[in-house]
Structure 1
Amino acid sequence: MVPKRRRRPQTVTEWVLLLGAVLVAIVIAFPFLLILINSFKSPSDYSSGGPLQLPAEIYLDGIVAFWERVDFPQKLWNSVLISGLVSVFAVVVSVLNAFAIGIGRVRGRTWVIGLFLLANMLPQEALLYPLYYMFKQVGLYNNVWAVIIIFTVIQSAFGTYLLSAVYGTFPKSVLEAAAIDGAGRWRILWQVIVPISRPTISVLLIFFFIWTWNEFLIPLTFLVSNENQTVPVAISVLQGDRLMDVTTTSASALLGLVPTLIFFLIFQRTLTRGITAGAVK
């Protein structure tokens, strides 16, 4: 089979759009390249050459210092655990809610969807004190499950809003055919609707993981002990203590960025397929 050759830009407009895309990619990638360069640079090398000069030699003490100071493997595990469980739980809750709203056609469907949309618009600062008081009362303060529950609810609000719109346009003929074959609602959901909407669900799963990984304010408020902190919180706390120089700070940012970058690269094809499937009916 002869591989399909990519079509090159032919018109002036296409070349301008391509050039614009390349420039945008460079602007987006520049901060990451800056972090990468300065993560392997010694403080003296940074002082003499500045942030843009390539390191004279590979310097790993900054990465080692941050790794040991914050017990990075523990913080990495906390972030992976919280983000992984939130993404799975939020997707399950979103599917169940969207099935009731989009397929079940509950009364006041528009108002219910509007409430979920409103929940996505609330700033996290407005939720801190009520959530703090509630989890203090139930004994879950300074517990990773408090953060998991909070973000499951927050992320599932967006997932419900999105999937409700998708399930609202679901072909009725498919549902009627499954019902004629004797499938109940539970079987229709997990054997018909979920497999067909798997690309959209996969996109939500990836987004929920990355969004939760990058969250800072709520983990900072609810995870006060060192052993429960996530990677972003550990980076900020150590920087606040003024225990790191510029190169160690860059190393901490690099270590915090690499796991999500690897996760994105692993699931890049899944994300692309999900977005494409959502764009083409």
Structure 2
Amino acid sequence: MLGALLVVVLLVLAPFVLIVLNAVKTPQEYATAGPLTVPHHLSFQGIADFWQRVSFGQKLANSALISGCVAVLGVAFSLFNAYALGIGRVRGRNWFLGAFLLANLVPQEALIYPLYYIAKQLDLYDSRLAVIIIFTAIQSAFGTFLLAGVLAEFPPELLDAAAIDGAGRLRTLIRVVAPVSRPTLGVLFTFFFVWTWNELFIPLIFLISNDNQTVPVALGVLQGERMMDATTTSASALLGIAPAVLFFLVFQRTLTRGVTAGAIK
């Protein structure tokens, strides 16, 4: 069993290791030794060339801004909506949850034209704000559907104690429900950030200016328009996935805690 698990881990890590090896090679060494060899000396010229060619620092800042805003706003809207549906038990709760579930099933391709038309009418096209609003709505639909089921099982004793202390609904949400649900909220925040970071289709349509493009869009446009050698291509792949992997590793404890502990302690 352990041997099979080790084989699976190696298969998962092999593409990433191969990208790293080729990203720190010179084009000459890649041409002579091939992609599977270990470089004799480290060369970061491919990484430096790619960074300068696409203004990668700006693309990195755009992706971080959009993903961070979507993660924060998505979790906040999910919490408020789920609080009303899961604990507030508003009339027509099942219909609302069905609508949120349906929103998660609609492909993005079917939403592009109406979203494009609305963005044009509101003068939001080719702006990061438009992408933030769109992804916040998409992610919060999933978050609401998930959290509503969790908060439906929220311990009523805690709510009764808050009511006896004179806490209103908003104060109960902030002081009681949110802290107790922190593990689940942490999981949603991590997923929302990574999902938004990796999105290509909607940013490709809505962010046409070079100054507004995200990392996946910059990688896609560069691969389609310009010829690059293998080492620069590997460097672009490495720089594209490294921030998301780093973020995931930083919040790994939060993710693990949320999965194992659940929303209710």
TM-score of the alignment, normalized to the shorter chain, above 0.5:
yes
- Report how far residue 46 of structure 1 moved: 1.7
**Counterpart pick for 2:125 among 120, 129, 141:** 141
Question: Which residue number in structure 2 is paired with residue 115 of structure 1?
Answer: 99
Q: In the alignment, is residue 176 of structure 1 matched against residue 181 of structure 2? A: no
TM-score (norm 2): 0.97
Question: Which residue number in structure 2 is paired with residue 126 of structure 1?
Answer: 110
Question: Which residue number in structure 2 is paired with residue 90 of structure 1?
Answer: 74
Question: Which residue number in structure 1 is paired with residue 242 of structure 2?
Answer: 258
Q: In the alignment, is residue 48 of structure 1 matched against residue 32 of structure 2? A: yes
Q: Percent same amino acid among aligned pairs?
A: 61
Structure-1 separation of matches of 2:136 and 2:86: 20
Structure 2 counterpart SS, 1:127: helix
CA contact (8 A) 2:184 2:263 kept: no
Alignment of 1:1-281 (within 5 A): 16=1, 18-278=2-262
Structure-1 separation of matches of 2:214 and 2:53: 14
Structure-2 separation of matches of 1:238 and 1:75: 13
Which shows bigger deviation, 113-122 or 147-156? 113-122
Which shows bigger deviation, 210-219 or 236-245? 236-245
Structure-2 separation of matches of 1:217 and 1:246: 25
- Report how far residue 155 of structure 1 moved: 0.4
The one-letter amino acid of 2:151's match is Y
- Report how far residue 177 of structure 1 moved: 1.6
Structure-2 separation of matches of 1:124 and 1:40: 37
Structure 2 counterpart SS, 1:256: helix
Aligned CA RMSD, in angstroms, stands at 1.3
Structure-1 separation of matches of 2:171 and 2:29: 63
Count the aligned residue pairs. Answer: 265
Which shows bigger deviation, 31-40 or 18-27? 18-27
- Report how far residue 271 of structure 1 moved: 1.1
TM-score (norm 1): 0.91
Which shows bigger deviation, 99-108 or 41-50? 41-50
- Report how far residue 106 of structure 1 moved: 1.1
Per-residue CA deviations over 1:231-255 (Å, capped at 9, x if unaligned) read 1111111111123111101101111
